[in-house]
Amino acid sequence: MLCAGAACALRVDPASAGDEGLEAAAVRWGRFFGSAVRVNDLKTEPNLREAVIRECAQLVPEFEMNWNEIEPAYGQLSFGKIDDLTAFAIANGKNLRGHTLLWHLSVPEWAVEMLRENQDWNLIARYFGSVIPRYGDVIGMWEVVNEPIDPGQRVDGLRENIFLEVFGPDYIARALAQARRFAPKAQLVINEYGLEYDLPDERDRRYFLLKLLERLKRAGAPLDGLGVQAHLDLRKGHISQSAVARFLQEVAAMGLSITVTELDVKEADYVATAEERDRQVADEVRRYLDVVLSERAVTGVTTWGLSDLHSWLEITKDDYARFAGAWTDGAGPGFNRGLPLDSSMRAKPMYFAIRDALWYVKPRPQKRRKKVAVP
């Protein structure tokens, strides 16, 4: 494993924290480490492929399994990319997480129109029936509904998406039941973002999400767990460790598993040295994982990509404007440095922050589960 700059200085004695990599460190406490991957990048970049095989037990298609990618036109289902990813996963002893079935940002336009016109759940059932059984042997966890909460829209905090518009708030329970019919053994989860900071909208999102989870459990919906995306953002200050800990304890008390599904970090300061930028990112990731990994219900950690080279987190025009004139030497800020490996696939301090947290943070003893009364 090559280090990147300061990363070497940060390394804990390899003998104590294990030197095999992230997958091995996660196994110590019975967890997994994984990463989102873009199928084309995996095919065309040997260094990325090698890093994914070395570090990850679980792979997540970053966008290729979205409804609008699988079925861009009604009835024209294309599974090539996910079939290739499945073959790669099986050949390398990896498992896949199904990301994601219902998400307001990935509903094909034709499906929005058809749902609005026909109000027919069979469109959803047919789509689930075409995707879930196809990958039943390699996908152990399905994100059935992605980002159902949007505080400020409704008294129940649910996002006003096409599914809610057509089928009402019960669409979530209905989607879980539908997925269960096609995946009798898989873990079925709901995935959400914006749960880490002591900010009004994140406090509200944690509150409304807990209420949703309680309603679903009370109704006996086949919900096994929660995915917390964990897109950390240094512009928001530090995460609230107490708020995260309290929230995760409430979720675990319902008997739900928890998975960190999309961990990455948006930087705030692009003019500091790379060493300082990497340290700020690594420190925040460690602050977050120290709390998260002490929760026994946490099954694993997935980053939203392995290398800064492939991150959805870009340095935007606004970012450049905030530091106008800062880069006189033409070098510029490079990539957002919010993933474990740099753009040359070298481990950064964030890599070692994740590895050491996975290795050292022992899950807290199991608390008694809060009974959710089922009528």
- Applying CB under 6 A, the residues found at the interface with ligand G3I are 38, 40, 62-63, 66, 105-106, 146, 193, 229, 262, 312
Residue 303 β-bridge partners:
35, 263
Alpha-carbon distance 343 to 334, whole Å? 9
In the complex, minimum distance from the CB of residue 151 to ligand G3I, in angstroms, rounded to a whole number: 17
Q: Is the peptide bond before 100 cis (omega within 30 degrees of 0)?
A: yes
In the complex, minimum distance from the CB of residue 324 to ligand G3I, in angstroms, rounded to a whole number: 27
Which residue has its beta carbon closest to ligand G3I?
A: 312
Residue closer to ligand G3I, measured from CB, 33 or 304: 304
Residue closer to ligand G3I, measured from CB, 44 or 47: 44
In the complex, minimum distance from the CB of residue 134 to ligand G3I, in angstroms, rounded to a whole number: 20
Cβ atoms within 10 A of the Cβ of 115, count? Answer: 19
In the complex, minimum distance from the CB of residue 338 to ligand G3I, in angstroms, rounded to a whole number: 12
Give CA angle at 287 (282, 293), nearest 5°.
110
Residue closer to ligand G3I, measured from CB, 17 or 145: 145
Q: In terms of DSSP bridges, do strands 225-228 and 187-192 run parallel, antiparallel, or are they unpaired?
A: parallel
In the complex, minimum distance from the CB of residue 112 to ligand G3I, in angstroms, rounded to a whole number: 16
Residue 194 falls in which region: left (phi positive, over 0), alpha (psi -120 to 50) or beta: left
In the complex, minimum distance from the CB of residue 136 to ligand G3I, in angstroms, rounded to a whole number: 22
In the complex, minimum distance from the CB of residue 220 to ligand G3I, in angstroms, rounded to a whole number: 28
Helix axes 274-292, 349-360, angle to 10 degrees: 20
Residue closer to ligand G3I, measured from CB, 221 or 339: 339
Q: Is residue 371 classed exposed, middle or buried when 0-12, 13-18 and 19+ CB atoms within 10 A define those classes?
A: exposed
Residue closer to ligand G3I, measured from CB, 101 or 216: 101
Pick from 96, 38, 103: nearest CA to 68: 103
Residue closer to ligand G3I, measured from CB, 43 or 174: 43
Residue closer to ligand G3I, measured from CB, 38 or 279: 38
Alpha-carbon distance 302 to 296, whole Å? 16
